[in-house]
Structure 1
Amino acid sequence: MNNRHAKALRWLVTAGLAGPALVVAQDQSARPADTTSSAGRQAAAAERHVMQAVEVVHRMEMDAGIRPVLAQAQGVFIVPKYARAAIGIGGAGGAGLLLLNKGDGQWSDPVFYNTGGVSLGLQLGAQGGMLAFILNNQKAVDAFLKKTSVSLNAKAGLTVVNWNRMAQGTAGAGDVVAWSDSRGVFGDAATIEVSGVRYSQNLNNAYYHRTLSASDILAGKTSNPQANLLTQSLASAARP
């Protein structure tokens, strides 16, 4: 509402032709969303992570041979930005987003995870960058849904293979395919171990404005239109 309209409403109140409540309501509707509260900051951070994840999908799409792997995947776990200092030593990492393939060319809305304590089992000094873990089967998906702390490793009965080190025709051999935009992230490791990924209740609550479980979000019990670009980008990247 511009100043002219605001002045007109206040004149109507003064003249007895409109109630003060109308002015208050109009003023409040014109205010931007609150980003000063904790929930507001969390919501803004979640939206930022989603847009960063779109960039990861676009980068993955440029990688030759990965489209059929995505098309057959059960899901994907995207870590848009991972700090160099965190790799291999469990330091501050970033947010991760889990999306499931719904089987009809569509993808679920994202579920947010905290990768702050993740350990990739790599040598110190590895580079940071974009990460994505393509979940090839239900066993890999269940690792995210059945436990509070997610582990993608042999102890969980999962094989995580390095996309940059494998023959692309054997991508289905692992339960999870680990992709990065920098070969330095995974180095020369043929297999990768991931542990310490945790469901972020705060980010999910702030993004969807409700208290939800990962299963609720993946089942479509809620949605956020801001995620449409991400889900559409994944659908495009996974199109055979």
Structure 2
Amino acid sequence: MTHRLISFTVLALMLVVIPLAGCSNSPWSSSNDTRSEPERLIDVSANVSEQMFRDPEYGKLVELVSRARGVLIFPSVLRGAFIFGARGGNGVLLARDAAGGWSAPAFYSIGGVNWGLQFGGQSQSIVIAIMTERGLNAIMNRRATLGVDANVAAGPVGKSIAAQTGADWKADMYAFAKSEGVFIGIALDGSIVWPRHEFNQQLYGASATPEGILLQNSFSSQRASQLIGVLP
């Protein structure tokens, strides 16, 4: 009963938080912006990724993504807290093929609630290196709970995860965050990730599926060239 109540609370909060997170990307948009939401999300993801990959403090992130099975990029995850903290945002997932190249991006959302007394609110950029096939399959085409369907290790904001996990790289995923707000860390256990089928279909057409985009390379977008170009 408690688990069902928490799940209902998470989903209800995400109806409010995720639309707000989408609005928080305003530095890359304007009132005369003619891009669709999926196109804008790709562009913002490219900008955020490039900034993080060039930052020396994210050297471990670059190392992990360079050999990752996939990478999840959430350029603006809105987080606010009072008694409990809610976060949510939209992002993209790219998968690496057998030849070492990257697929076109598929679209996903993340949402979650952290219980306990917290203060303040901010927007975080989150990049998750997916290291295993299990991790990629867990979120491919269904709603997945991080820490349950796939384990995730998170480092402190703006720092390498080496201090927390050492050299024992055994998690399915490793998450890094960049934030200008008051929170100094990130915890993703219990967060829910799910595919945004409507965004996939809006960009690629009605027949687009996560498998077709990520595994079969059946869809492509010229829009994604900058994003793919910045990935190690």
TM-score > 0.5 by shorter chain: yes
Q: Identify which range, 192-201 or 134-143, moves more after superposition.
A: 192-201
1:81 to 44, 67, 76: 76
* Aligned sequence identity (%): 23
C-alpha distance in 2 between matches for 1:134 and 1:51: 19
Higher helix share: 1
- SS of aligned partner of 1:131: strand
Pick from 41, 46, 66 the counterpart of residue 38 of structure 2: 46
Note if 1:150 corresponds to 2:144.
yes
Deviation at residue 184 of structure 1 after TM alignment: 5.6
Change in CA separation of 1:114 and 1:209 when aligned onto 2, cut-off 3 Å: same
Structure 1: any 5+ residue segments left out of the alignment? 1-40
Q: Distance in 2 between matches of 1:52 and 1:226?
A: 11
Aligned 1:33-182 pairs, distance under 5 A: 44-61=36-53, 62=55, 63-85=58-80, 89-90=85-86, 93-115=88-110, 118-119=111-112, 121=114, 124=118, 125-145=120-140, 148-153=142-147, 155-162=148-155, 164=159, 166-167=161-162, 170=167, 172-182=169-179
Q: 1:103, CA displacement in angstroms? A: 4.2
Which of the pair is proportionally richer in strand? Answer: 2
Query: Is the Cα–Cα contact under 8 Å of residues 121 and 193 in structure 1 kept in the other structure?
Result: no
Q: Is the 8 A contact 1:204 1:211 kept in 2?
A: no
Q: Taking structure 2 as the reference length, what is the TM-score of the superposition?
A: 0.70
Q: Distance in 1 between matches of 2:171 and 2:124?
A: 22
Matched residue pairs, number? 188
Q: What TM-score do the two structures reach when normalised by structure 1?
A: 0.68
Q: Tell me if the contact between 2:61 and 2:176 (Cα under 8 Å) persists in the aligned partners.
A: no
Q: CA deviation at 1:129?
A: 1.9
Q: What is the CA distance between 1:230 and its match in structure 2?
A: 0.8
- Structure 1: which 4+ aligned runs deviate by more than 6 Å? none
| Pairs within 5 Å for 1:189-200 | 192-200=188-196
Q: Which amino acid aligns with 1:182?
A: S
| 1:198-232 deviation line (CA, Å, top 9, x unaligned) | 21111111111233221011121111111111111
CA RMSD of aligned residues (A): 2.8
